[in-house]
Amino acid sequence: MKKLFYSLLISAFFLSFLFLKSTYAQSLSIGTAPTHEKLQLEPGQVYNDNFTVWNLSTTTTTYYIKVSSFRQIENQPGSAIFLSKEEDAKNPYSAADWVEVEMDSIELIPNRNFTIDYTITVPEELAPGDYNAEIYFTSQETVGRDETAAYSILGSGVPILITIGDEYAESAEILDFYSKEKMYEKPNFTTLITRIQNLGDTHITPQGDIVLKNIFKQEVGRIKFNANTQSILRGNTGTYESNWDLDKYIEDGKIAIGPITAETIILYRRHNPGFAILKAATTFWIIPWKLIILILTVIIVTYVVLKLTRKKKKNTINSNYHRPR
């Protein structure tokens, strides 16, 4: 019985290893430029453009070119994962049917760039807001397989976000703003997390500053919020990570030690941006405990050495002193 158990365990291990190797081998090795597009178009407009694609592997490979809408990965601003045919058909914001690509397959030769043209034809009657499509690639290996399962592994492409008109609602709120830790040894270890929810009917690209002040209300740092301009699609939330890069405790005579208050000031609207400001604050501590321990150690050692020196000196004096007979 024990022998059978070990045999099954070893078989399962090798099967899982083979499966992992197979999955790894299926991933695509292509690059695109641009990596994404954000367009402002009007109903009835015909838009022509192109993008460049190249093979990152060392072998010539044929890829099929397809179009679908996409969705944002949960809490990850600036991300896009394309939808299966069934999911795309149910997506009311899909622009996949608007996009026509000049070819349906391409043979990519290593170390060569290829340009692919496409046309977007916007329908005449359309409600204002955001729509999206992604021109993506699949390997020949997906042919004959369950595409829904294969697409999650074998895809890479160019997401296209299309905004129609300018009469749409822009609304957002900060759900969370906090420090990853309540205490840090150094300022440049500090990581601040901001989670924002998009409540409008168009994408938003929140940007602004995080201002850091010490116990004396002096500004000791400023972090550029969302420096990479990552957007949040409508109906989604986005989590942003901001890092303080100050590598010293004193900057321009201001001390970055003790309680530090961080306040985020964010703008997100493209129209009338100054009329919608998102604010939140949090507090954390900068305690240079290693430096404190070092200073205390030096003080204690100095004190002990001085005390021992005085004691030795006193003993020497006493030993050299002779009372008269």
CA distances from 297 to 200, 291, 292, 306 (A): 57, 10, 8, 14
Residue range 230-242: average pLDDT?
A: 95
Which residue matches tokens 């070990």? 6
Q: What is the mean pLDDT of the chain?
A: 83
Q: What percent of the chain has pLDDT over 70?
A: 83
Indicate whether 37 pLDDT > 80. yes
Contacts of 170 (CB under 8 A, 6+ apart): 200, 202, 204, 268, 269, 270, 271, 276
Is the pTM of the predicted complex or chain greater than 0.85? Answer: no
**CA separation for the pair 59, 110 (Å, rounded):** 6
Domain boundary (164, 194, 214) is at 164
The pLDDT value given to residue 98: 97
Smallest Cα–Cα separation from 153: which of 20, 13, 17, 60? 20
Indicate whether 285 pLDDT > 90. yes
CATH number of the domain at 177, please: 2.60.40.10
Residue 139 lies in a domain: yes
Indicate whether 286 pLDDT > 80. yes
Rounding to the nearest 10 degrees, give the CA dihedral for residues 194, 199, 201, 205.
-20
Domain boundary (101, 130, 164) is at 164
Indicate whether 127 pLDDT > 80. yes
**CA separation for the pair 184, 141 (Å, rounded):** 49
Number of domains in the chain: 2
Residue range 46-55: average pLDDT?
A: 96
Residue 6 lies in a domain: no
Same domain membership, residue 282 and residue 180: yes
Smallest Cα–Cα separation from 91: which of 72, 65, 64, 66? 72
Smallest Cα–Cα separation from 110: which of 31, 24, 36, 22? 31
The pLDDT value given to residue 174: 97
Type of residue at 305: V
Q: Which two tokens stand for residue 86?
A: 């069934």
Q: Are 16 and 23 in contact (CB under 8 A)?
A: no
Residue 322 lies in a domain: no
Reported as a pLDDT band with limits 50, 70 and 90, residue 303 is confident
Residue range 133-144: average pLDDT?
A: 76
Same domain membership, residue 194 and residue 134: no
Residue 81 lies in a domain: yes
Q: What percent of the chain has pLDDT over 90?
A: 53
Same domain membership, residue 180 and residue 132: no
Reported as a pLDDT band with limits 50, 70 and 90, residue 176 is very high
Same domain membership, residue 119 and residue 37: yes
The pLDDT value given to residue 13: 31
Same domain membership, residue 39 and residue 141: yes
**CA separation for the pair 11, 211 (Å, rounded):** 57
Is the four-CA dihedral 162, 164, 167, 168 of positive or negative sign? Answer: negative
For the stretch 63-110, pLDDT in tens is 999 999 999 998 999 888 889 889 999 999 999 999 999 999 999 999
Reported as a pLDDT band with limits 50, 70 and 90, residue 306 is confident
The pLDDT value given to residue 250: 82
Q: Are 122 and 94 in contact (CB under 8 A)?
A: no
Residue range 149-157: average pLDDT?
A: 50
Q: Which two tokens stand for residue 22?
A: 């197979």
Residue range 135-151: average pLDDT?
A: 60
Reported as a pLDDT band with limits 50, 70 and 90, residue 323 is low
The pLDDT value given to residue 21: 32
Same domain membership, residue 35 and residue 160: yes
| Residues in the chain, total | 325
Gyration radius of the chain's alpha carbons = 31
Which of the pair, 42 or 14, is modelled with greater confidence?
Answer: 42
Domain boundary (164, 191, 210) is at 164
Residue 10 lies in a domain: no
Residue 19 lies in a domain: no
Residue 127 lies in a domain: yes
Q: Which two tokens stand for residue 159?
A: 């997401």
Type of residue at 274: G
Beta bridge partner(s), residue 33: 52
User: What range defines the domain where residue 181 resides?
Assistant: 172-289
Same domain membership, residue 136 and residue 92: yes
Indicate whether 20 pLDDT > 80. no
Q: Which helix (H) or strand (E) holds 23?
A: helix 2-26
Q: Range with the lowest mean pLDDT among 93-107, 134-148, 158-172?
A: 134-148
Same domain membership, residue 152 and residue 67: yes
Same domain membership, residue 145 and residue 250: no
Same domain membership, residue 208 and residue 104: no
Neighbour tally for 44: CB within 10 Å: 11
Same domain membership, residue 33 and residue 131: yes
Indicate whether 17 pLDDT > 60. no
Is the four-CA dihedral 310, 311, 313, 318 of positive or negative sign? Answer: positive
Same domain membership, residue 135 and residue 81: yes
CA 267 from chain center: how many Å?
A: 19
Indicate whether 5 pLDDT > 80. no
The pLDDT value given to residue 309: 83
Residue 15 lies in a domain: no
Indicate whether 123 pLDDT > 60. yes
User: Based on the number of CB atoms within 10 Å of its own CB, is 22 exposed (0-12), middle (13-18) or buried (19 or more)?
Assistant: exposed
